[in-house]
Amino acid sequence: MEQNLIGGKIMNKFEIKKVNRYTRASHDGKRIVCTCNAPIRVFHFSWSAIKCVDCGKDIKKEDWTIGLTDKQKYKWVWEGRKGHKTLVKRINTSLVDVLDIDINTSDYPDFCDSFIIEAVWHDGTDLTDEEYEELNDDGEYLYAQIENHLY
């Protein structure tokens, strides 16, 4: 497990692998991430460098990283009461790095009006609006991140 300086804090990177000569793509393609943190999907690796859509630079194959899969990003959890449980997709919060939080200290110690402003996946890609909403709705995770941010 590597460590990376993100947003002034040292964050643990979770098994981020570089593209190499043994990397293969499935028939659905493979998501790779540029050095500028822009993700793209490729369907083969028979190239030595490829132009990033976001930054416009030619990036060597070895400088790209393999993006996190949905299987890594999300976990399935049974929720509900006994006899009426449903399977719900939840974010794997151990793979999220929170960079900035808006902390409202007027309602200390509850912090109920606080929310996450900026967060990224460990591979450097941004979260979607739905993922931000789910993280902000998870009270235990949000409170733990506020404590980490404050102390």
Place of tokens 């235990």: 140
Convert the pLDDT of each residue in 106-147 to its tens digit: 777 777 778 888 898 888 888 888 988 888 888 788 888 888
Write out the two tokens for 78: 């049974």
Q: Look up the pTM and report it.
A: 0.66
CA atoms within 13 A on the CB side of 18: 9
Among 23, 37, 42, 34, which Cα is nearest to 58's? 34
Residue-level pLDDT at 3: 47
Return d(Cα 121, Cα 127) in angstroms, integer. 7
Q: Are 146 and 103 within 8 A, CB to CB?
A: yes
* Three-class DSSP labels, 108-132: CCCCCCCEEEEEEECCCCECCHHHH
Q: How far apart are the first and last CA of the chain?
A: 24
Dihedral angle sign, alpha carbons of residues 45, 18, 8, 142: positive
Backbone angles phi, psi at 87, to 5 degrees: -90, 120
Q: Are 50 and 133 within 8 A, CB to CB?
A: no
Convert the pLDDT of each residue in 26-50 to its tens digit: 898 999 999 888 888 999 999 999 9
Among 122, 142, 134, which Cα is nearest to 90's? 134
Convert the pLDDT of each residue in 75-99 to its tens digit: 888 888 878 888 888 888 888 888 8
Return d(Cα 74, Cα 89) in angstroms, integer. 6
Query: Which range is least confidently modeled, 7-11, 26-30, 70-74?
Result: 7-11
